[in-house]
Amino acid sequence: MKTIAQLGLTTLVIIALLFSCKKADNTSAEATADYATTDSTAVSSSAAVENKDSKQKFIRTADIKFKVKNVVKSTYAIENAVAKFGGFVTYTNLQSNIHDQIKTKISQDSTLETTKYSVENNITIRVPNTQLDTVIKSIARQIDFLDFRIIKADDVSLKLLANQLSQKRSTLNEKRVEKAIDEKGRKINDIMDAENTLANQKKANDNRTIDNLSLQDQVNFSTVTLQLYQNETIKQEISASEKDSNAYKPNLGIQSIDALKNGWYILEAIFVFFLNLWPFILICLGGFFLYRKYIIKQ
């Protein structure tokens, strides 16, 4: 009975230990999952959220670099999300960077080509200021590893106000100058000076108007710059090998026949060459016989 009791106690201890280990593993797994979720979604910031009750005007920008599973698929997902929330893409540069290429001959007519490359894409998007936080959270779903994220909110309320006041002053000055030009009894030189002053005033007013419109556009639409990349990818494909030049040489029989032909052609060429020299040969023979006939006999 004592042995049975000891066995039962030992069994209970083992079961308790196994249960504790399983619980610890589950806790660890949950913590890891929570960390991964937090790490991939904690990309936005309060700087990206617009306060509708605030009187300030903010130009919001974001710069994010992160790794994804597949750059092409993530690019399409991001572009769809941007269009869904009323934004648009102003720049995208999708490219593959080749790191290494290796060609391995695996048979007489086949070669295995191994290419190591990485894909990246730089994207610039414009999104409505009210949707910036939503778009960034949608982009966060594509993140596998976050390198960095920078979100800025620059208050341009005073600058907009300064431009508006400057426009009002410029408009008043224009009216005064126009009134001065319309007055009678002015000299032509005075009128020309006034016209130039009026033109400068209008140009300055136009520049402030354009500057205000540009600022307002940046306030209404936030600019987000994204840098996407993925792990190095290996691509392998089999292609036909280029044959060696020796493979195109004719067999020995054909080469022998060609050699005989070439020899005959050379012999013909030599014969024709000497035929072309017959006057010189004839002169040489005549000289030789005259030499033997007259000079040797003497």
pLDDT confidence bin for 287, thresholds 50/70/90:
confident
- Bigger pLDDT: 223 vs 171: 223
What are the two backbone dihedrals, phi and then psi, of residue 210, each rounded to the nearest 5 degrees?
Answer: -65, -40
For tokens 């910031």, what's the residue? Answer: 45
Name, of 171-175, 185-189, 239-243, the range with top average pLDDT.
Answer: 239-243
Is the pLDDT at 282 greater than 70, yes or no? Answer: yes
Q: Which pLDDT value is given to residue 80?
A: 94
pLDDT for 4: 46
> pLDDT tens digit string along 36-77?
443 444 565 555 555 565 677 888 899 999 999 999 999 999
**Dist. CA 63–CA 43, nearest whole Å:** 11
Tell me the C-alpha distance between 31 and 3, whole Å. Answer: 42
pLDDT at 276 over 90: no
The band of 27, judged by pLDDT with boundaries at 50, 70 and 90, is: very low
And the tokens for 234?
């290996």
Tens digits of residue pLDDT in 80-113: 999 999 999 999 999 999 988 888 887 777 888 8
Residues across the chain? 298
* pLDDT confidence bin for 199, thresholds 50/70/90: low
Mean pLDDT in residue range 246-271: 81
C-alpha span between 35 and 57 (Å, rounded) = 35
Task: Calculate what percentage of the chain has a pLDDT beyond 90.
Answer: 24
Calculate the average pLDDT of the chain.
76
Q: Where are the domains of the chain?
A: 1-41, 45-256
Q: pLDDT tens digit string along 155-173?
A: 887 777 777 777 676 666 6
pLDDT of residue 180: 58
Give the pLDDT score at 216: 85
Cβ-Cβ contacts under 8 Å for 83 (sequence gap 6 or more): none
Single-letter amino acid, residue 274: F
Q: Which residue has the tokens 């399409």?
A: 76
The per-residue pLDDT for 170 is 66
Q: Judge whether residue 136 has pLDDT over 80.
A: yes
pLDDT at 64: 93
pLDDT at 24: 44
